[in-house]
Amino acid sequence: MRIGQGFDVHAFAPGDHLMLGGERIAHTHGVAAHSDGDVVIHALCDALLGALALGDIGRHFPPSDPQWKDADSRDFLGAVAGMIEARGYRVGNADITVVCERPKIGPHADAMRANLALDLNVDASRISVKATTTERLGLTGRGEGIAALAVVLLESLD
């Protein structure tokens, strides 16, 4: 078994929606990002890559590379899923926490779980998406941006 953790933050920017866990969620702002700015998937990819000691998302999909401009973050997750399988592992479980005052994540959590499970080729029961505010404190509390944390366990296929 191997464990990994990931964390990502994106600043809010002018826009009308967020991509979170592959879901398009209408919002008062978008985020500043090179890709679609999906903090849920970015934190999850970093946790998965960390579990395999393969570096981080920026190493595999550099923000300096125009190929990833406005990229669908689910493409990153699919590529990482391939790395996991190629090394003889599968996702045992993943637990993700989204940190923001708004939007409310609860109504979208199951749809995100379904997207992530599909991309990782596991049952949705292995994927958890939950959320917290920071009680109006700090960068997320002031509504300056959105953050996500992920912890994963990989199981050997042997």
Ligand X SMILES: Nc1ccn([C@@H]2O[C@H](COP(=O)(O)O)[C@@H](O)[C@H]2O)c(=O)n1
Least distance to ligand X, CB of residue 145, Å = 12
Contact of 29 with 101, CB cutoff 8 Å:
no
CA 136 to chain centre: 22
Is 82 annotated as ligand-binding? no
Sites for ligand CDI among residues 69-88 (CB under 6 A): none
Q: Give me 55's structure tokens.
A: 């570096």
- Dihedral, CA of residue 37, residue 20, residue 8 and residue 132, to nearest 10: 140
Pairing of strands 145-156, 89-99: antiparallel
CA 2 to chain centre: 19
Q: Whose structure tokens read 């939950």?
A: 130
Of 77 and 126, CB closest to ligand CDI: 77
Which of ligand CDI, ligand X, none has residue 152 at its interface (CB below 5 to 8 Å by kind)? Answer: none
Of 15 and 63, CB closest to ligand CDI: 63
Least distance to ligand X, CB of residue 26, Å = 14
Which of ligand X, ligand CDI, none has residue 106 at its interface (CB below 5 to 8 Å by kind)? Answer: ligand X
Rg of the chain (C-alpha set) = 15
Site string for ligand CDI, 5-34 (x = CB under 6 A): ---x------------------------xx
| Annotated binding-site ranges | 8-10, 34-35, 42, 56-58, 132-135, 142
